[in-house]
């Protein structure tokens, strides 16, 4: 399969969506923790790991999307 410019835009869109959603979730999670919400420690750890992993995935997809857009522009 050959990745084209349209795939670059799709990957970039998914990356932006991923970053916005997980950054918002991280903010909400931090607010819940600072307000003293009573949850088991595993809850905070699991969600923090999910946030880090999904933000990393978003960065990788964004980088790949930009690479495709630059390659197709040349």
56, 73, 72: which is closest to 15 by C-alpha?
56
- Using one digit for the tens of pLDDT, what is the confidence trace for 53-72? 999 999 999 999 999 999 87
Confidence at residue 3, expressed as pLDDT on a 0 to 100 scale: 87
Q: What is the pTM of this model?
A: 0.84
CA-to-CA distance for 57 and 6, rounded, in angstroms? Answer: 19
Contact 32, 47 (CB under 8 A): no
> Which residue ranges make up each domain of the chain?
5-73
pLDDT above 90 for 25: yes
């Amino acid at each position: 399969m050959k990745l084209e410019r349209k795939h670059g835009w799709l990957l970039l869109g998914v990356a932006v969506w991923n970053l916005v959603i997980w950054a918002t979730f991280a903010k909400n999670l931090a607010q819940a923790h600072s307000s003293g919400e009573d949850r088991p420690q595993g809850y905070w750890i699991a969600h923090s790991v999910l946030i880090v992993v999904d933000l990393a995935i978003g960065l990788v997809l964004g980088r790949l999307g930009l690479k495709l857009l630059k390659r197709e522009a040349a």
